[in-house]
Structure 1
C-alpha cells in the first residue's frame, strides 16, 4: 500500500497537485480492534491495539489536509460486515482486499463496501466443477467453524446438487486449532473411503493436519486447497512432503507490480525509524541491533514519505552487535523480498489505485470544461463529500492496470483465480505450479501439467461404489447417498448395456436397436411426399391458369396481385412439408420449423389483406370508404403483407439463434427402436410461431365472417370464410394429436396438418374461380360479377 501511494504521488498524472497520505493500523485479527481502527481512521483519532503483528489490516487514504478517508481493509469477512454496517451512514468507502463472503455483495446491506478479491461463490463453484470434471463423486470436507468455512461449504453443496457428487463426511474444526480437532480430523480422513479431501481452513490448521497425517503414515489422499492456504509457504514444509504432494488449490490470481522488487530491496530501517516491522525484520535477518545506527547515507536516494505511524514500545531483546549501516536487502533470498507471485499484495495495490482514480474523478471539477459537463458527479477539491467519493467508486474504471482492467460490478470485480498444484522438485521440496485458470464460471485446465498425490499421471479415483460390471444393474442403498449403490445381477433374460442395444426375440443376446425416423422410402413417408408434390403441381397449374386469364374479370375482380402471391405462398407451404421427411440433421431441424412458420404467415397475410380489401370495396359508396380506399391502395397492401411476414421472420430468427431445435433420439414404447427426431429445446419459441399463425387466422376468419353476406354474385369473403374454418379446425385438432403421437408419428401429424390446411385454402378459394374460368367462361364477365 505504501508503494502504491508513493508511486501515485511521484507520477503526478492521476492526481496532479494532490498528495495522498495514509495511516496504517493493526487490527490484531480481532473484531473490536478492527472496529476501533476503522472509527479512528474515519474520525482522525489515533489508536492501536499495542500488540505485535506482521499483518497490516486496515489503512486509510486521505487527500492532503482534507479529512475524507477510504479504508483499505479489513481482511476478514466478519470484520468487513461489522465495519461496513457501522460506517455505512457516514458513507465512508471500504475496499477490502481479502473479504470473500458472498453476503458482502448485497448492496442493500453494505452499500459502502467494495473488494478487489472475488466472492467465494466462484472459488467453491470451481471446486464443484473440478469434482464433476474429474468424476470425483465421493469427497470429504474439513471445514473451519466460522463464517468463511460454513458459507463456503454451503456454496459447494449447492453447486454439486444434482451433479452426482456426494460428501462422505463434513469434519468441523474450531477456530482456535486445538490438538483434539487436529487428531479427530486426521482420524476421520484416515478411516474414510473418499480419496479426495477438501480443506476449507487457514494455513495453520492445514499444516497441523498434514503433520498429524504424516505421523499416522496416511498418504495417497488428493487434497483440494481453498485460497486461504493454497499458496502459503508456511504450509509447504519439507516434513510433510509425502502427504501434501499433489495438492490442487484455487489461488488469488498472481500479478506483477513493476518496480516493487526494487522498492523492497531499497528499504532500510535507518531511513524509516518509525517502521517497527522493518526494524524487527532487519535485526533478525542481519543479527545486529539498530539502537544506535552509525550511518544514514543510504537514505539519500529515498523520497520523503507523508506517512504517520503510532509509536510502539520495542520488546526486550538479547544484546546484539550494532548494525554497521552497510547491510542491504539486495540479493537477500527471503519470502519478504520474493515478488514473483504477488497475490494479496496485488489486491491491496489495486485497491489503492481504485481509490485514487475515484478521487481523480471528483477533483476533475477544477477544470472548468470538465465541471461544465459533469457538475453532478464531482466536487471542488476543498469540499469533497464522502458520499460523492463513494458514488464515484461505483463508476470508476481504470484501463489496463498492468494488464488488468479495473471496474467494480456492484461490490465486486470480475472473478479470476489461478489453479495451482503443489509439485515435488528434483531436490525433494515442494514448489507451486500454475496449472489452470478460473474465469468467472469457466474452468481452464492444463491436465498434462498436473502432478497427482499418487505420483502417477492417472487421475485419482474417488467414488463410493464402482461402476456396475456387465450382467449387473444399479440398486440404491436405503439411507445412503445416491453415490453409494449395490450391483445386483440382471433379471432372467436381461443383460446390461447402453441404449443403442436391445435384446433379441429370444432374449438371449443383444442386437443393435433399429434406427427409426420418417423416411422417404417407407409407405407413410412416400404417401405424404406424393400428396405434397401433388399439391405443389396443382398449385402451379392454378397459377398458370390465372396467369393465362389474368385480364378476365374473375381474376381482376379478386385482386390479381395478391392472388398470385397467395398461390406462391401455398406452393411454399406444400414444399416445406418435404423438409420434415428424412433423417434429422442440424440444418433440417432448424429450417423445417422456420420454413413452415414463415410460409403460412405469408399465406395468411395475403388472405387478411384480401379480406380487408373486400370489406372496403363493398362499402365504396360511403365517403369514408372512398377515403379509406385511397389510403389502402396496392402499395399499402404490399406493405401490410410484408410487415405481417417480417414479424414472423423476427420470431423465428430469435428462436433459432437462442434455442434452436436440435437432432436427438428417444427410446419409445417399443424398446427395440431408437427414434431420431428434432428435440424442441424451446417450447416457448414453437408456441410463439404457432400462436402468431393462429392470431392471423382468427383475425382473418372474423373479418371474412363479417363480409360473408355482402351482396354479389361472386363474394370472395365467403370463400375465405370456408377456407379459414377448415384451417382453424385442422390446427385445433393438431395440438392434441401432436402431443399424444409417439415417435416418428409426431412428425407425420405435423406434415398432415400442413398439407390438409394447404389443400383447404387452395380448394376453397381457387376451385370455384377455376371452375368459372375453365368450365363456365360465359359467367366470366363484368356484368355477371356485378349482378346483385
Structure 2
C-alpha cells in the first residue's frame, strides 16, 4: 500500500493518460494536481458532439486520432468488428481517453486567440481615429510585425464569455491562476479529476489558495484524514482559527468563538452566527432553540399581580358601595358626589386595566393596553383636579363681595373632567391612527429567550401619553398644595396633596426603572406602577372618609365639617 500524497504539475493528465495501460495507477490515488485554469464552455461540448473524421480530407490528424481512440481501423478490407464506421461519438469515450470538457491547455489557446483578436481590434480602432479610411486591411495584416501588437496586448483587459477578466500582468503574462484538482483512481485503473480549489494570484494574504477540503478524496492508506500542519494542531469545534502574527498563513492559533457564535466543525476559519431564534450552547458547538417567554398568570409574579389587581378592584367597589349607601351624609355631599363616584369608577377600571398586560400578547390586547391605561388614568386625575378646583373656588366664594359662586356646581367640574380626558383621548387616537401597537417578538434583549411583547409602535406617542398625565398631575398637586391650609375641619385638599405626592413619585421612578429592565420585567414594572399609583389615590383620598363613615359617625355632621371655617372667620 502506497502511503504518499503526490503533488503534481500541470502535465499530470498527459502522464496518466499515457500510462493508463502500462502502470498500476493506484499509487496516484488522492494526488493533488495544479492545472492551468480552464474555462467552462458549453458551446465546446456541443461542438464535440458534432465532430466526424471525414470533415477535412487534407487533415490526417483527426483520422489517426479516431483510430487510436476507438481502437478501430478505416478501410475496405477490415473485419466489421475492427472497422471504424465514422458514426462513433467522442462523448462516448471515457474521460481518461478523451475529456469532452475544455482542458487547461486548450483554454490557454482559446484565451490566446481571443487576446490576439482583441489586440488587433484595438490597433485598427486606434488607426481609424487618425485617418478616415483604411485601404486594403488584409495587406496590412500580412505585413504586420509581432512587436507592433505588444503595446496593445499590454493594455489589454476584457471580459470573457464566462464573465472572467482577462488581462496581462507586469510580466506580460495572463494571470489566470491555477485550478487545484484531486485525482480519483477507480478500481479498473481509470481516473477522474475533481476540482477542489484554486490558486488566485493577487489575492489578499491568506486567500491566495482556496480549497474545499470536504471534496478531497485521499488515498485509502490515510483513512481520509487531512495531513496536519507542522506548526499547529486542530482547532476543535467551539474554536476558530486566528492567524499568528509574523508567521505563514497556514500557522494559526485557536480562539474561542465570540458571544453569539458557534463552530460545529474542526478547523473552521470563522465562527458562524446562530439564527435569531437560537442561541449557542455552553461549549459553542451548536445552537439551541430560544424559549418564548411572557408574563403569564401561571407564574408566581404574574399570579401575584393579578390577585393584587383583583383585590384592589373589590376594595374600590366596596368603597363605592359604602359612599353610595351614605350619599346623603355631609361628608359625602361635601365635595361633589358625582365627581367622587366618577373617580372611584375610574380607579376600579385602572386596577382592572392592569390585567390587559398579563398573558401572551395578542392583537386586541396590544391595541387596548396603553390607550386604555392612558385615558382611564387621565379621567381619574381629571376628577382629582376638579375636586381640588372645587375646594379652592368654594373657599373663595365665601369671601364678602366675591363673584365666584357662579363657578360652583356640577357644570364646571364636568367641563374640567371632560376637557382634560378628551385631550388624552385625542393623543391616543392619533397614536392608534398613525402607529398602533402590535404583537412582536424581541429576539435580541435576552440571550437565551425570546420575549413576546407588545411593540409600542411609536415611542414618542407613549411618552406623550405619560407626559400629558404628568402635566395634569403637576397642576393638581400645585393647586392642592396651595389650598392645603384652608380653614376646614375636613379639608380634602390635604388628602389630595398627599395622594398626588404618592402618584407623582410612582411615575417619576417608573421611567428610569422601565428603561433599565428587559423582557417580562418591563411589563411587571408597568403593572406595579399602575397598581401602586391607583392604590395611592384610593387610600389617601378615601381612607379618612371610610374611617368617619364606619368608625366615627358622630363626626359626619355639617357642624363638625364647618367648625374650622367658622373659627377662622371669627
Q: TM-score, length-normalised on structure 1? A: 0.39
Matching residue of 2:475: 699
- The alpha-carbon deviation at position 187 of structure 1 amounts to 5.9
**How has the CA–CA distance of structure 1 residues 641 and 510 changed in structure 2, closer, same or farther, with 3 Å as cutoff?**
same
Q: How does 1:203-352 map to 2 (within 5 A)?
A: none
Structure 2 Cα separation of the partners of residues 473 and 661 of structure 1: 42
Q: Secondary structure at the match of 1:618?
A: helix
- The alpha-carbon deviation at position 758 of structure 1 amounts to 0.4
2:533 equivalent to 1:773: no
Say which of 420, 423, 430 aligns to 1:647.
423
Structure 2 Cα separation of the partners of residues 605 and 519 of structure 1: 32
CA contact (8 A) 1:720 1:765 kept: yes
**How has the CA–CA distance of structure 1 residues 495 and 538 changed in structure 2, closer, same or farther, with 3 Å as cutoff?**
same
Q: Which moved more, 1:672-681 or 1:696-705?
A: 672-681
CA contact (8 A) 2:396 2:404 kept: no
Q: How does 1:607-686 map to 2 (within 5 A)?
A: 607-622=384-399, 625=402, 627-668=403-444, 670-686=446-462
CA contact (8 A) 1:668 1:742 kept: no
Matching residue of 1:601: 378
Say which of 558, 561, 566 aligns to 1:785.
561
Matching residue of 2:296: 519
Structure 2 Cα separation of the partners of residues 571 and 188 of structure 1: 79
Matching residue of 1:50: none
Q: Secondary structure at the match of 2:480?
A: helix
1:707-750 deviations in whole A, cap 9, x for unaligned? 10011110000000000000011111111101101211111111
Structure 2 Cα separation of the partners of residues 629 and 188 of structure 1: 96
Matching residue of 1:540: 317
Matching residue of 2:466: 690
- The alpha-carbon deviation at position 588 of structure 1 amounts to 1.6
Q: Secondary structure at the match of 2:441?
A: strand
CA contact (8 A) 1:605 1:641 kept: yes
**How has the CA–CA distance of structure 1 residues 179 and 682 changed in structure 2, closer, same or farther, with 3 Å as cutoff?**
farther
CA contact (8 A) 2:262 2:274 kept: no
1:531-583 deviations in whole A, cap 9, x for unaligned? 11111011000000001010111101121110000000101111111111111
- The alpha-carbon deviation at position 585 of structure 1 amounts to 2.0
Specify every segment of 5 or more residues in structure 1 that has no aligned partner in the other structure, as ranges.
1-177, 196-470, 476-487
Say which of 755, 764, 768 aligns to 2:531.
755
**How has the CA–CA distance of structure 1 residues 554 and 583 changed in structure 2, closer, same or farther, with 3 Å as cutoff?**
same
**How has the CA–CA distance of structure 1 residues 194 and 559 changed in structure 2, closer, same or farther, with 3 Å as cutoff?**
farther
**How has the CA–CA distance of structure 1 residues 497 and 632 changed in structure 2, closer, same or farther, with 3 Å as cutoff?**
same
Q: Secondary structure at the match of 1:675?
A: strand
**How has the CA–CA distance of structure 1 residues 739 and 474 changed in structure 2, closer, same or farther, with 3 Å as cutoff?**
farther
Structure 2 Cα separation of the partners of residues 194 and 675 of structure 1: 48
Q: How does 1:13-412 map to 2 (within 5 A)?
A: 190=160
- The alpha-carbon deviation at position 668 of structure 1 amounts to 5.0
- The alpha-carbon deviation at position 507 of structure 1 amounts to 4.8
Q: Secondary structure at the match of 2:344?
A: helix
Count of aligned pairs between the two proteins: 329
CA contact (8 A) 1:597 1:690 kept: yes
Matching residue of 1:712: 488
**How has the CA–CA distance of structure 1 residues 620 and 628 changed in structure 2, closer, same or farther, with 3 Å as cutoff?**
closer
Structure 2 Cα separation of the partners of residues 664 and 778 of structure 1: 57
CA contact (8 A) 2:240 2:263 kept: no
- The alpha-carbon deviation at position 635 of structure 1 amounts to 1.9
Matching residue of 2:233: none
Q: TM-score, length-normalised on structure 2? A: 0.53
Matching residue of 1:116: none
Structure 1 Cα separation of the partners of residues 524 and 289 of structure 2: 25
CA contact (8 A) 1:535 1:759 kept: yes
Matching residue of 1:296: none
Q: Secondary structure at the match of 2:436?
A: coil
**How has the CA–CA distance of structure 1 residues 697 and 624 changed in structure 2, closer, same or farther, with 3 Å as cutoff?**
farther
- The alpha-carbon deviation at position 189 of structure 1 amounts to 5.6
**How has the CA–CA distance of structure 1 residues 748 and 191 changed in structure 2, closer, same or farther, with 3 Å as cutoff?**
farther
1:158-211 deviations in whole A, cap 9, x for unaligned? xxxxxxxxxxxxxxxxxxxx999xx9xx9666589699xxxxxxxxxxxxxxxx
Structure 2 Cα separation of the partners of residues 636 and 787 of structure 1: 27
CA contact (8 A) 1:472 1:495 kept: no
1:295-324 deviations in whole A, cap 9, x for unaligned? xxxxxxxxxxxxxxxxxxxxxxxxxxxxxx
| RMSD, aligned CA | 3.7
- The alpha-carbon deviation at position 638 of structure 1 amounts to 1.1
Q: Secondary structure at the match of 2:396?
A: coil
1:38-88 deviations in whole A, cap 9, x for unaligned? xxxxxxxxxxxxxxxxxxxxxxxxxxxxxxxxxxxxxxxxxxxxxxxxxxx
Matching residue of 2:279: 502
* Bigger Rg over Cα: 2
Structure 1 Cα separation of the partners of residues 553 and 440 of structure 2: 55
CA contact (8 A) 2:498 2:540 kept: yes
1:85-105 deviations in whole A, cap 9, x for unaligned? xxxxxxxxxxxxxxxxxxxxx
Q: Secondary structure at the match of 2:279?
A: strand
CA contact (8 A) 2:393 2:408 kept: no
Say which of 552, 568, 577 aligns to 2:345.
568
